[in-house]
Structure 1
């Protein structure tokens, strides 16, 4: 479309305007006129800024720049001037990208697993996954990947976390229950498995590494951690953490940790990090109730 006669940006001197007579450029040039925005009575500073911006867009929408095409228009290589570009609408710009914001975890947050049976959520740290093809009961997470067990064949994992309700007796003391559970936890992990095999050649000895009170999901609990030596392989660490549930009859909950020792095992600090991150499902301050559930018998 050929633009109508008028003042346009000079293609040779963009800081000036030049008269276009409708068919060609003339030699008439001028300094662009700057029109002060008309103040709006009672308008805020932001409203004035919007008004000025709108005026600028309208000016651009009407008509703006010219273009110069340099080429071989004739044998002497003369400069060829073209008509000013005539816009029928204002050029658009991409809106700025939204600033990322921190929000509450969604219902499918991959960093949290929920044990519905015991009414708790546990953080799923880097290197840990939800259980798949696991023979052990009550497993809520494992380390990623498997390896060939060092002794009696089968497939082993470098780390397991289990959660279960203590129903074997009427004892309610977290300290007594943790001290009672740790022996069973160590033997089932590093002595004989559920089908009687000895994947590590049997458990040879143990030593108490840590033991004491611990706050879990806002309740007073107790933990015991053993370092286990096995006939084959580097051995490992086992921990039993017991605390009263905040749901139902508040039965004691036991969270077991089984970590291989050595360079391939998960960092021991993960035991403390997972324990610290445990929340009750009804705890609004702890993000309880989000994430994928690990119900009874799953895995």
Structure 2
């Protein structure tokens, strides 16, 4: 009698340091960092040789080294050495991407097509904002980064050190370790760390893009965000491998609680595979206070001139 491994998290056949969801018949695009529960050493595949095939799936030994954090996106927020920023608490949209079709055990990472049924907004309840999802973006699912509020769907093999990268990510955080309240000062202070986190080194010390070789200021200026005064700084970064990308730090005061400063970080790959740069302005314009549909979000026309 033939058997098929049950749905669950198993070692990714294309990158064994992460786990990938097997839906019982095929691999999906969902990946996560390994947890403390042992998972099969070898990825599952449809069994066709009787019970012996099912028994061949081994468990990771108790003494195996667990990877504590895997880069599945291009940056991680809220984990800086200065302790700044608690992770944002979010509610995700009710609609989720459908499982990709294809071979049961693909040999490499793939980028899923945008899900046309995705919800139009994501909610960051901690910071009291909602963010519009541009076409081709999805709410994060099964990712290691705590502060992500949206990503481009799917992953790809990083052009530098081994790992999985994403073409675009957006994250939000509350500024807690910095007494500065000026949006301009916060954005100007944050942009260097945002760029390094996105394109220089990952949390394991790897260099998925072989590091940043140079950067150029594209835009800096005031912008209204969720009805509050904000400031953005945008860089074009060049990397040792791959086409580089665009990084933006957007700072503004929250409209809830103690009105703590909020920083939204955006990182887009450059080149044909990256999201259109105009999505950065669309995302800024679409930020609104939670429960408020009348403020119009950020006002794109108020973005200051490039310098």
Q: TM-score range by the shorter chain?
A: 0.5 to 0.7
How many residues are treated as equivalent by the alignment?
A: 183
Residue pair 1:136, 1:194 contacting (<8 A) in 2 also: no
- Matching of residue 204 in structure 1 with residue 213 in structure 2: yes
Contact 2:227 2:295 in 1 (8 A): no
Name whichever structure is richer in helix by fraction.
1
- 2:280 aligns to what? 271
Asked if 2 retains the 8 angstrom alpha-carbon contact of 1:214 and 1:221, the reply is yes
| Structure 2: stretches of 5+ with no match in the other structure | 1-92, 96-117, 298-307
1:154 aligned to 153, 156, 163, which one? 163
- Bigger radius of gyration: 1
Cα distance between partner residues in 2 of 1:188 and 1:232: 16
The one-character-per-residue Cα deviations of 1:173-229 (angstroms, maximum 9, x if unpaired) are: 000000000000000000001111100011111111000000000011000000001
Q: 1:186 and 2:195 equivalent?
A: yes
TM-score under structure 2 length normalisation: 0.57
Name the CA distance, whole Å, in 1 between partners of 2:196 and 2:94: 37
* 2:153 counterpart of 1:144: yes
Q: Deviations over 1:33-70 (max 9, x none)?
A: xxxxxxxxxxxxxxxxxxxxxxxxxxxxxxxxxxxxxx
Alignment match, 1:125: 134
For residues 274 and 118 of structure 1, the distance between their equivalents in structure 2, rounded to whole angstroms, comes to 16
Which residue of 1 is the match for residue 185 of structure 2?
A: 176
Give the conservation status (yes or no) of the 8 Å contact 2:234–2:246.
yes
Whether the aligned pair in 2 keeps the contact of 1:159 and 1:260 (CA below 8 Å) is yes
Stretches of structure 1 that go unaligned for 5 or more consecutive residues are 1-105, 289-299
Question: Does the 8 A contact of 1:192 with 1:202 survive in 2?
Answer: yes
**C-alpha distance in 1, partners of 2:233/2:284?**
13
| Conservation of the 8 A alpha-carbon contact between 2:286 and 2:296 | no
Within 1, Cα distance between the matches of 2:160 and 2:234? 24
Deviations 1:67-97, CA, capped at 9 Å, x for gaps: xxxxxxxxxxxxxxxxxxxxxxxxxxxxxxx
CA distance in 2, matches of 1:179, 1:107: 35
Say if 2:245 and 2:269, in contact at 8 Å, map to a contact too.
Answer: yes
1:163, distance to aligned residue in structure 2 (A): 0.5
Alignment partner of 2:248 out of 225, 228, 239: 239
Matches of 2:181 and 2:296, distance apart in 1:
27
Taking the aligned partners of 1:230 and 1:133, their CA distance within structure 2 comes to 27
SS of the aligned residue for 1:267 comes to coil
**TM-score where L is the length of structure 1:** 0.59
- SS state of the match for residue 206, structure 1? strand
Question: Which segments of structure 1 move beyond 6 Å, counting only runs of 4 or more?
Answer: 106-109
The superposition leaves residues 9-33 of structure 1 with CA deviations (integer Å, 9 ceiling, x where unpaired) of: xxxxxxxxxxxxxxxxxxxxxxxxx
> Residues 170 and 131 (structure 1 numbering): CA distance in 2 closer, same or farther, change over 3 Å?
same
Residue 113 (str. 1) matches residue 99 (str. 2): no
Is this contact kept in 2: 1:191–1:200, CA < 8 A? yes
Look up the match of 1:93.
Answer: none
